[in-house]
């Protein structure tokens, strides 16, 4: 068994111990630096991917907003045209003419007329029902 030196280490060359510890520390620093570089590269790649994904999502949302606003404009124009046509119809026809037209619609589309009557009856019933 080796005798211990006053410093508490096994007898041997203290210079070798210092060199071994120094080499170990240098190796640890080198590995830590390499891990740091790899971590930075991985984070940069993830950052680039995330930025690309966000850019693609922003483009899709922007495109959807433009398309949505086109649809909204078309719907608004269609609604305005329908209201204008209704106003012209009411202005240009007597009540008797409108009743005759309504009778023709009911005769030609009895199923739709029945469903419409049921829906109107339901809404009127709900409007006049008591809230207990």
Greater pLDDT, 124 or 67: 124
Q: How far apart are CA 37 and CA 18, in angstroms?
A: 28
104 falls within a domain:
yes
* Interior angle at CA 11, CA 10 and CA 17, nearest 5: 75
107 and 59 within one domain:
no
99 falls within a domain:
yes
Work out how many domains the chain is built from and give that number.
Answer: 2
132 and 79 within one domain:
no
Instruction: Name the residue among 89, 111, 115 with its Cα closest to residue 100.
Output: 89
32 and 84 within one domain:
yes
- The residues facing 4 across adjacent strands are 10
4 falls within a domain:
no
pLDDT band at 1 (very low <50, low <70, confident <90, very high): very low
Half-sphere exposure of residue 95, counting CA atoms within 13 Å on the CB side? 0
27 and 87 within one domain:
yes
> How much is the average pLDDT of 121-129?
89
DSSP 54-85: HHHHHHHHHHHHHHHHHHHHHHHHHHHHHHHH
Q: How far apart are CA 123 and CA 116, in angstroms?
A: 11
What is the per-residue pLDDT across 30-79, written as a single tens digit (0 to 9) for each?
Answer: 888 888 788 777 776 777 777 778 788 778 877 777 777 888 888 888 88
129 and 108 within one domain:
yes
Query: Could you list the residue range(s) of the whole structural domain that residue 125 is in?
Result: 94-132
Q: How far apart are CA 57 and CA 111, in angstroms?
A: 46
Q: Is pTM beyond 0.95 here?
A: no
63 and 110 within one domain:
no
């Amino acid at each position: 068994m080796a005798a211990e030196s006053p410093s508490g280490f096994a007898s041997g060359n203290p210079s070798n111990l210092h060199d071994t510890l120094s080499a170990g520390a240098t190796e640890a620093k080198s590995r830590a630096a390499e891990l740091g570089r790899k971590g930075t590269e991985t984070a940069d790649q993830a950052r680039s991917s995330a930025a690309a994904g966000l850019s693609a999502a922003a483009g899709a949302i922007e495109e959807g907003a433009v398309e949505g606003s086109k649809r909204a404009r078309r719907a608004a124009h269609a609604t305005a045209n329908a209201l204008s046509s209704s106003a012209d119809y009411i202005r240009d026809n007597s009540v008797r003419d409108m009743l005759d037209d309504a009778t023709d619609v009911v005769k030609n589309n009895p199923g739709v007329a029945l469903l419409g009557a049921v829906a109107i009856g339901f809404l009127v019933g709900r409007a006049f029902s008591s809230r207990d």
